Amino acid sequence: MQHPRPSEVNSPHWAALDSIPAVSEPARAVAAVLVPLYLDHDGIVRVIMTKRPDNMRTHPGDVVFPGGRLEEGESAPQAAIREACEEVGLPPESVTVVGGLAPVTTRDPGNLIVPVVARVIRPDTLIPQPEEVEVILEPSIDELLDDARWHVSEWFGNNLWFFDFPEATLWGATAFMVRQLLEYFRTPEA
C-alpha cells in the first residue's frame, strides 16, 4: 500500500479544490469519469488523462478522463474509481474524492456524465489498458491554464474549446470539464 508524502496531504496547492461542490448524482446519469489530480515530485499539480485508440467504437482518438458506464447500484465515485483502476492502473486506495464538476453530455445528449474530482497519489507506473487507452497524458494545471494554448472553433453550429497536445486534441465534453476545473485554479486579478 502506498502512503502519501506529508506534502501531498496538506499542500497549499489543494486549497483551490476547497470550493468544489459535492459530487452530483442525477438519476439520469449513465457514466462517470475521474478527474485525477496529483502533485509531481516538483510540487506541480498535474491531471491524468488518456487518449482513446483510433479504432474505438465510440469517441475514437479523443482525449478523455478515465471513466465509463455506471454499473447497477454503483455511485458515480465508485464507477469513476473502478474505471481509473481498470484503464490506467490507478490504485483505488490512492484516490481521495474531493467533489464534482457539473454533469455534462457528449455528442449524444442522453449520455449524461458525472465528473468526479479527486486528489490521487500517483503510483510509480501507470498501466494503460490497451483496448481503451493508447496514451496516458499528464499535463500540468499551469499548462492548461495557458489561455494562449486554447482556441475556439465552430463544430456543427456550436462553438467549442480545443487544446492541442502533440498526441491528440482535447475538445468536446472533456474540454468543457477541464475548463470548469480550471476556474477553481484561477487566481483573481489583484
Q: What cell does 148 get? A: 494562449
pTM of the model: 0.89
DSSP state letter for 174 = H
Residue 62, domain member (yes or no): yes
State the CATH number of the domain containing residue 22. 3.90.79.10
Residue 115 falls inside a structural domain: yes
Amino acid 121 reads: I
Q: Which residues are CB-contacts of 90 (< 8 A; sequence separation ≥ 6)?
A: 34, 36, 48, 66, 81, 84, 120, 122, 123, 126
* 151, part of any domain: no
Is there a contact between 115 and 177 (Cβ–Cβ < 8 Å)?
A: yes
| Structural domains counted in the chain | 1
Q: Which residue carries 507506473 as its cell?
A: 125
Classify burial at 88, counting beta carbons within 10 Å of its beta carbon; exposed 0-12, middle 13-18, buried 19 or more.
Answer: buried
* pLDDT tens sequence for the chain (190 residues): 343 443 444 566 788 888 999 999 998 999 999 999 999 999 999 999 999 987 767 666 799 999 999 999 999 999 999 999 999 999 999 999 999 999 998 777 778 999 999 999 999 999 999 999 999 999 999 999 999 999 998 877 778 899 999 999 999 899 999 999 999 998 654 3
168 within some domain: no
Does residue 73 sit within a domain? yes
Q: What is the four-CA torsion angle of 176, 178, 181, 187, rounded to 10 degrees?
A: -110
Grid cell, residue 60, equals 475514437
Task: Please give the pLDDT value at position 170.
Answer: 93
Dist CA 108 CA 49 (whole Å): 21
- For residue 80, give its domain range: 6-140
Residue 190 lies in a domain: no
Give a yes or no: residue 48 inside a domain: yes
Task: For residue 55, give every residue at least 6 positions away whose Cβ sits within 8 Å of its Cβ, in sequence order, or none.
Answer: none
Task: Answer yes or no: is 51 within a domain.
Answer: yes
Query: What pLDDT is stored for residue 153 in this prediction?
Result: 85
Residue 58: per-residue pLDDT = 66
